[in-house]
Amino acid sequence: MTSFEVALSGDFRNADGSMAYPDFDLQPLRDAPGLNLRWVDPVEGLIPAEGLEDVDALILLGARFTARSVPQSGRLALVARFGVGYDSVDVPACTAADIALVTTPDGVRRPVAVAVLTFVLALAGKLMVKDQLVRRGPPGWAERSAYMGVGVIGRTLGQLGIGNIGAEVFRIAAPLGMRFIAHDPFADPAVARELGVELVDLETLFRESDFLSISCPLNDQTHHIVNAERLALMKPTAFLVNTARGPVVDQNALYETLKAKRIAGAGLDVFEEEPTALGEPITTLDNVLLAPHALCWTDQCFAGIGAADVAAVLAVQQGNVPKGIVNREIVDAPGWRAKLQRYKG
């Protein structure tokens, strides 16, 4: 067949044409026989279909991919999302067009879990306020006894979601001596037992967690699953951490809860609207730690994500099923199998 054409969404490039994320190593694709790389620039944040007409695989960063992005040629076989979230991709549109959507759970598992623990330990140690005490000089130092931290031994670490990332949080938190609980309707009981995690109902999770971490995908069932009613169940000494997706949490309800000091604090890497507007109410509070959806961004994280996407592209080029497929039903779809066979042929 003709060459295997791979497009990268244009938001991988800076304005001067350089790579925005140099740790994303494209060399294995450049070295692959019969494979060509190109760029497709988003239009108003959306990947245009006309840019993909003779493309076999797309590696997608932050742009959206919807039914309007599907090329009429029917050639596109793979959308490889750079990361683990896929709320920017119309999954049914991909499936209907015989396009596999893959994400990179292996690349983000440890970095995001580390980000969760970063928030937990920073909140427990009151790191933000202690940083400010030092900056104020001797008067700040004089107030340090008023800001005692919270020890984690014997405290309850709760996870809303015990999949790829949630399970990894428990693995790396094991030496801290905490009690582990989780709620996940799709949890594997054997994995929970192996990690020493007690599976509980949603209300128990909110009532008993001293540190409650959100690690679930955003969908119709999880939108605003963290709402005013459930926040009201939490202990006044408890902390909420969200590194998943902003709309999983009702941000207005969380703001009112934090403002009234009904919980001790929160660590947020994600928000309902990104980027946050200047003066966004939750950014004015002193009991919340904030990061711009980037706390897990490290050289290792981006190298791992990139390597996973590259591996998926090369697998499809060779006519093989890649790892990390979201729309698993595509594996048995005749149209998609025919595309793989053509590559293999």
Contact (Cβ atoms closer than 8 angstroms) between residue 335 and residue 77:
no
Three-state secondary structure readout of 106-127: HHHHHHHHHHHHHHHHHHHCCH
The pair of structure tokens assigned to 124 is: 């427990």
Q: What does DSSP assign to residue 43? A: B
Long-range contacts of 191-199 (CB under 8 A, 24+ apart): 191/162, 191/167, 192/162, 195/162, 195/167, 195/170, 195/171, 196/170, 197/159, 197/162, 197/170, 199/162
Catalytic residue list contains 229: no
Cα–Cα separations (whole angstroms), residue 208 to 124, 192, 240? 16, 17, 12
Q: Which helix (H) or strand (E) holds 183?
A: strand 179-183
* Spacing of C-alpha 323 from chain mean position: 17
Side-chain half-sphere of 34: how many Cα atoms within 13 Å? 12
Question: Per the residue annotation, which of 50, 68, 274, 342 is the catalytic one?
Answer: 274
Phi, psi of 338 (to 5 degrees): -65, -35
Catalytic residue list contains 274: yes
Question: Per the residue annotation, which of 155, 293, 328, 342 is the catalytic one?
Answer: 293
Tokens 């979201």 — which residue? 326
Catalytic residue list contains 293: yes
Question: Per the residue annotation, which of 110, 183, 230, 245 is the catalytic one?
Answer: 245
**Catalytic positions:** 245, 274, 293
